[in-house]
Amino acid sequence: MDAYIKCMISGGRSAIFQLAPTATKILNITNSVGLYIDGIIFKGTTDADGATYREHDLIDIQSGSGFINIERCDFTKYARWGVVGRQLTGGVTTEGIKVLNSKFYDAPNYHASTALQAAVALGSNGEYSYITNNQFYRVPCAVRFTDGANSYFIDKYRDWE
């Protein structure tokens, strides 16, 4: 029997996780259930070169993960995706990822080779996810659904805060 431990990463808007110039991700979340990320600033880099820069993501959630909540976080300077969810557990209406009340801004150097660039991407089996009440500023695409069945993206315009 697998035991799941719920975990919370909270920064109170004062913690900054920054991508190293040669890294491709800040957080790589696999086979995790019940993770709550709140108030963290995730910052990519403009210092990386060539393909590495065009391929980095800030949070990659995959391989059987579920019940992942991301709330009140900032995502900036990401080259491909701010948050990507794929191969999630799926099957129940809340098992995907929730991205709520967060800010996605300044995704620099939009390039034709990164045509899939988005603030949030739901890939294969990125199901049952909720993306709502977020702010998007200077990003080429807010949300990209490759699969994301039974997911929703609801956003209403509000001034950038």
- Separation between Cα atoms, residue 115 and residue 94, nearest integer Å: 29
- Separation between Cα atoms, residue 29 and residue 38, nearest integer Å: 15
Sequential pLDDT tens for the chain (161 residues): 344 556 677 776 668 888 877 778 889 999 888 899 999 999 987 644 444 455 678 999 988 888 899 999 999 988 888 999 988 876 655 678 999 999 999 887 655 555 678 899 998 888 889 999 999 988 888 999 888 788 889 876 566 66
The pTM assigned to this predicted structure is 0.84
Q: How far is CA 45 from CA 2, 24, 40, 81, in A?
A: 37, 10, 16, 13
